[in-house]
Amino acid sequence: MDTPLLEPGLYIVATPIGNLGDLTRRAVEILSACAVIACEDTRVTGKLLNHLGIKKPMRRYDDHAGEDARERLLAEMVQNPVVLVSDAGTPLISDPGYRLVCEARARGIMVTSLPGPCALVVALTLAGLPTDRFMFGGFLPSKDKARGDVLGELAAVRATLVFYETGPRLVDSLEAMARVLPGREIAVARELTKLHEECRTGTAEELIAHYTAHPPRGEIVLLAGPPGDAPAPDAADVEVQLRAALADMAPSQAAGMVAKATGLDRKTLYARAMEIRHEPG
């Protein structure tokens, strides 16, 4: 493979989340041609480079690294091509890199990103839940109250919710979903791209029963389908509301108020309000 001459800057490179065959050809080219690789863990990235037969200087980097470490990398990328990888998947997605990218952009350094594996996208394409709108929530908090609060904040979002999760916490998170997101379709996508890949769907209660009996190993993405459409208001309730409103409002006002409360058509409600007004006795 020809090694391209790279301009100086920051190259964000996605790496496999399990199956080494998922490394793109362009990722290999850029890893071969760069000057330095910034990574979370030099042992993990070292294994990938060994597998590829690539030898490059590596610098440990995460967003909690001191200013010095970041400054050194920023100075390097002014002169040379610097690659940023994480242990697995797409850097910056629940992984380090955000501060480095912000700072590089602020300084006018060339920044480019090579697409590749990302567990949330793999899970979303696999789970059979709606993909037209989704919201990624990172890792849910580990404490019960905070976890419930986050799910409560997201409960009204009309989108598939996607979270990263770990085996030991899965059942706790499913229990919180059963409580805060009742009736949703849930998916657990586990060990994606690996030998024991699985994607199990069901209600939170069904999945709690399964994973209590078979404690899950490995890496997990947890998804919850969007809330269903709000149930149509009960006709008898609407009639009661309209009659109560008519007790001290004009028909047009009463129809407007009930339309707002129920989402029903104002004109239809007005017609019914007029009928009630003209009832004998």
For residue 123, the minimal CB distance to ligand SAM (Å) is 7
Residue (218 or 233) nearer to ligand SAM, CB: 218
Sign of the alpha-carbon dihedral angle for 260, 261, 265, 267 = negative
- Does residue 124 interact with ligand SAM by CB under 6 A? no
How far is 187 from 176, CA to CA, in rounded Å? 14
Contact region with ligand SAM (CB under 6 A), list: 49-57, 64-72, 84-92, 99-107: 84-92
Residue (216 or 251) nearer to ligand SAM, CB: 216
Contact region with ligand SAM (CB under 6 A), list: 45-53, 158-166, 227-235, 258-266: 158-166
C-alpha closest to that of 214 among 198, 203, 194, 225: 198
Strands 36-39 and 134-139: unpaired
Q: For residues 136 and 118, is the Cβ–Cβ distance under 8 A?
A: no
Residue (147 or 272) nearer to ligand SAM, CB: 147
Contact region with ligand SAM (CB under 6 A), list: 67-75, 129-137, 159-167, 176-184: 159-167
For residue 71, the minimal CB distance to ligand SAM (Å) is 24
How far is 172 from 199, CA to CA, in rounded Å? 18
Site string for ligand SAM, 175-214 (x = CB under 6 A): --------------xxxxxx--------------------
Distance of CA 218 to the CA centre of its chain: 19
- Does residue 13 interact with ligand SAM by CB under 6 A? no
- Single-letter residue type at 157: V
Residue (35 or 199) nearer to ligand SAM, CB: 199
* Total number of residues that touch ligand SAM (CB under 6 A): 24
C-alpha closest to that of 126 among 17, 40, 210, 252: 17
CA-to-CA separations, 259 to 101, 234, 277, in angstroms, rounded: 49, 13, 17
Q: For residues 16 and 87, is the Cβ–Cβ distance under 8 A?
A: no
Contact region with ligand SAM (CB under 6 A), list: 91-99, 128-136, 206-214, 243-251: 91-99
Residue (73 or 223) nearer to ligand SAM, CB: 223
Selected binder of ligand SAM within 11, 12, 31, 86 (CB under 6 A):
86
- Does residue 39 interact with ligand SAM by CB under 6 A? no
C-alpha closest to that of 187 among 179, 92, 173, 195: 173
Q: What are phi and psi of 163, to 5 degrees?
A: -130, 150
- Does residue 111 interact with ligand SAM by CB under 6 A? no
Residues in contact with ligand SAM by CB under 6 A are: 17-18, 86, 88-90, 93-95, 118-120, 164-166, 189-194, 219-221
